[in-house]
Structure 1
Amino acid sequence: MYIELAVALVLGAVVALVCLKRKKKGLLKAQDNWWGVGSRPQKPVDDSIRPFNIETTTEEIEDLHRRIDQTRSFPALEESQFNYGFNAGYLEKVVSYWRNNFDWRKQVDILNRYPHFKTKIDGIDIHYVHVKPKNLPEGTRAVPLMMVHGWPGSFYEFYGIIPLLTEPSSPDDIVFEVICPSIPGYGFSEAPHKKGFDSVCAAHIFNKLMKRLGFNQFYVQGGDWGSLITTNMAQLEHNTVKGLHINFAAPEPGLLMVLSLVFGRWFPNLFGFTEHDLKRVFPCVKKLVLDTMKESGYMHIQATKPDTAGRGLNDSPVGLAAYICEKFSTWTNPEFRDLDDGGLERKFSLDDLLTNVMIYWTSRSIISSMRFYKENFSKGPDQAHTKIPVYVPAAMASFPNEVKHSPKLWVKQKYHNLKTYTPMAHGGHFAAMEEPHLLAEDVQKFVKIVEKIKMK
């Protein structure tokens, strides 16, 4: 007992020392680059904001149907469920629905329910959805909020949460003005034409976008790549970004993280670990390795040879649907791997899943979206933004089935001004699409805290 107490005291002193020694390491900087075709033109570039409408044609739909009709099926292994990837038997049902029941024209009308725009920044067209509240109470101003998606999602992930933020039911809630851009190379944002476009470059462009829209200060929210991009936005513009809300935080190695991994199982209270933290952080080594292998193969492919793997997906709508929708199964709940249908329709409708696929298909953006992994991972783990803390007010919504779990202690090592860390009741990786009400409530809670602080 005395030995354990002594160890705990020593560890406590080390932890306190590490926390006290956290120092500012400067601010993140970004350079203006030209991502368009060829060299930067000498004459001024058109920086106007243009309305954009998503459209389709009979030829586009007929081409899709022809490719679906010509797909070559392959039988699934017996009792394989989703453990070998997207189950071929269930894929036949999805493809049949896509071919015979899915109404793309109807979904296009749904996509156009909110106003879309494009504007050219650093040589490429940036697409975004901009939703202003319809019934803003007199004497109040909407709070600008940018929400950034990840892979293999799109701006469409936010269609369920937008009305909860722009038209909240409670008079005590903050009313937001929501901007949802497409990451360059995703959906209807033009892909960069030059190498090197990473998360910091995307953050730089999105900060420029918000300034072009007239916002001197604003909030940002993101998951997956969106969490990294919005984090970089806060690192670049700490006086402009009023607050940062994320629902994904990739663990970044450090002394405190190492100490917590070595001793956290035996001294959980010292590191603030909850039962859920212990369950997620300390599985047996075998399980940890196997789970990582099961869900990270796509990342290695996309971080090394995206153009090779992506070419087949760019030609085959069925292959594209299987590749994308499989993530909406296992990243929503890893136990869905053991279900014949991957649990897809437990959380999402086929219309919503296929609409997201169609955004990639009609824009031919799967290859350029996969390149984003190559651009970010090829620069190694010592990029500038990984060493610079975030000082703006921040919040983390920790969903229990998120692919990678980060305890509060780990999150605080990066986000020094963490105002809230909320263990969510349920939900996985695609939080805005899967649990829009929970995410909206957490965004409201965080922004109310920051706004009160600002008023004081």
Structure 2
Amino acid sequence: MPRPTDDVHAFEARATDAELDDLRTRLAAARLPETETVDRTASGRRRWDQGVPLADLVDVVHHWRTAYDWRAFEARLDAIGQFRTTVDGLGIHFLHRRSPRADAVPLVLTHGWPGSVAEFAHIVEELADPGDDDAPAFHVVVPSLPGFGYSDKPTATGWGIERIAAAWVELTGRLGYDRFLAHGGDWGGSVTTVLGGRFPEHVLGVHTLLAEAPPGLTTDGLTEDERRWAQETRDFRRHRTAYAKQQATRPQTVGYALVDSPVGLLAWILDKFAEWSDTEDSPFERIPVDRVLDDVTLYWLTRTGASAARIYHESHASLDPDLRVDVPAAVTMYPGGIEKTPRPWAEQRYRRIVRWNAPDTGGHFPSLEVPAAFVADLRDGLAAVLAARH
């Protein structure tokens, strides 16, 4: 294993009191629209037909302004260990928790949008030091995507998923990890796929929540459930991706609102937590409000609403249709996920699927919605990946 380099520097996240005071002032002075014009008797998902309901947003804004504790989240990040390094001319922020276990394996967790390292901060310690000798342990690395969190904002085009994957290989090498496991969902799933396909000499195997199939496959031979998955995914792409098209074509335009208005940023992100979580109504049925606010506040304080949106401009529909992943792969399709790929389709790209799991609960944010089940599934999937290499 290569030795760590001196190009990695410790980092601490510290918002100033003035920045936090400014946030509270803006929240108190927010100008809100009138109530949505949905049926007043509507319940469940129907309440969200026009987006985030006014009453729900008012409640979250009040909590954000009067009760939320950003300093607690800063302390959590510091307790894990935060670092920065410059890769390919861009400063990259990451969390790194080295396991005390001698048999631990390096693991890179890559978040997506509208996520951040906040998706994983509460489970890093459990993955690194499970307290059970029978459970696998990992040296956990959680990078912030370019333009997200405390990573630098690219000043030119070119930072798509291929370049990000190459940067992750360079980053892990600097930590002394020549070979590692990789996990991701959403954009993190795309990056993980590129890692497994382009860098098999470094990637031991992958665990993904987004098994992107090659284009042009037919539903012939699929089961009824698999056909339903394919239709649901097709419907999502046709009717529920206005946010992605906006960020892919005009990220700068929407970015002004996301960087200038904390309420606008909250609504833009909360809408996705609501729509993509496996819940009957509010995302807070499963995700604590402070977990969502950790994520939103990180976007706010780092002013990354526009720069994070640009990953869509760089990478939307950009995964190489000919890319194949030959390292062992574990795939988990949560029922509330927005893109669910039938296994026969996934097998056309991921050639060695060693574990396939379709849990009963969980959505697009399983590490936040069902953290215990997510950790157990991740461990089982990666254990199968490692076993397949022997």
TM-score (norm 2): 0.92
Q: Distance in 2 between matches of 1:445 and 1:104?
A: 33
The answer as to whether partners of 2:80 and 2:125 remain within 8 angstroms in 1 is: no
Between the aligned residues of both structures, percent identity stands at: 31
CA shift, 1:108, in A, is: 1.9
The answer as to whether partners of 2:81 and 2:97 remain within 8 angstroms in 1 is: yes
The answer as to whether partners of 2:214 and 2:322 remain within 8 angstroms in 1 is: no
Tell me what 1:30 maps to: none
Tell me what 2:249 maps to: 304
The answer as to whether partners of 1:164 and 1:437 remain within 8 angstroms in 2 is: no
Q: State yes or no: 1:92 paired with 2:58.
A: yes
Q: Which amino acid aligns with 1:371?
A: R
The answer as to whether partners of 2:106 and 2:140 remain within 8 angstroms in 1 is: yes
Which digits, 9 at most, give the CA deviation of each residue in 1:273-330, with x for residues without a partner?
Answer: 3x542433346xxx964x5455211011001000011111110000001101111111
Q: Distance in 1 between matches of 2:143 and 2:263?
A: 26
The answer as to whether partners of 2:204 and 2:327 remain within 8 angstroms in 1 is: yes
The answer as to whether partners of 1:47 and 1:120 remain within 8 angstroms in 2 is: no
Q: Distance in 1 between matches of 2:264 and 2:75?
A: 26
Q: State yes or no: 1:195 paired with 2:134.
A: no
CA shift, 1:236, in A, is: 2.0
The answer as to whether partners of 2:229 and 2:342 remain within 8 angstroms in 1 is: no
Tell me what 1:374 maps to: 313
Q: Distance in 2 between matches of 1:111 and 1:388?
A: 35
Partner secondary structure for residue 47 of structure 2:
coil
Corresponding residue to 2:277 among 332, 348, 367: 332
Tell me what 1:73 maps to: 32
The answer as to whether partners of 1:94 and 1:350 remain within 8 angstroms in 2 is: yes
Q: How does 1:165-314 map to 2 (within 5 A)?
A: 165-254=127-216, 257-258=217-218, 260=219, 263=220, 270-271=221-222, 273=223, 276-282=225-231, 289=235, 291-292=236-237, 294-314=239-259
Q: Distance in 2 between matches of 1:47 and 1:122?
A: 16
Q: Which amino acid aligns with 1:430?
A: F
Q: 1:236 to 1:280 in 2, by over 3 A?
A: closer
Which digits, 9 at most, give the CA deviation of each residue in 1:247-269, with x for residues without a partner?
Answer: 11234323xx21x2xx4xxxxxx
The answer as to whether partners of 1:247 and 1:431 remain within 8 angstroms in 2 is: no
Tell me what 1:416 maps to: 351
Q: Distance in 2 between matches of 1:103 and 1:453?
A: 44
Tell me what 1:388 maps to: 323
Q: Distance in 2 between matches of 1:322 and 1:345?
A: 14
The answer as to whether partners of 1:314 and 1:367 remain within 8 angstroms in 2 is: yes
Q: Distance in 2 between matches of 1:153 and 1:215?
A: 25
Q: State yes or no: 1:355 paired with 2:294.
A: yes
How many pairs align? 379
Q: 1:288 to 1:241 in 2, by over 3 A?
A: closer
Tell me what 2:78 maps to: 112
Q: Distance in 1 between matches of 2:184 and 2:263?
A: 29
RMSD in angstroms over aligned alpha carbons?
A: 2.0
Q: Distance in 1 between matches of 2:73 and 2:123?
A: 17
Q: State yes or no: 1:425 paired with 2:364.
A: no
The answer as to whether partners of 1:68 and 1:318 remain within 8 angstroms in 2 is: yes
Q: State yes or no: 1:130 paired with 2:75.
A: no
CA shift, 1:373, in A, is: 0.3
Partner secondary structure for residue 413 of structure 1:
coil
Moved over 4 A (4+): 291-294
Which digits, 9 at most, give the CA deviation of each residue in 1:44-77, with x for residues without a partner?
Answer: xx97211001112111011111211221011222
Partner secondary structure for residue 389 of structure 2:
helix
Q: Distance in 2 between matches of 1:191 and 1:282?
A: 36
Uncovered stretches (5+) of structure 2, i.e. residues with no partner: 40-45
Q: State yes or no: 1:150 paired with 2:112.
A: yes
CA shift, 1:229, in A, is: 0.5
CA shift, 1:396, in A, is: 0.3
Q: Which has the larger radius of gyration?
A: 1
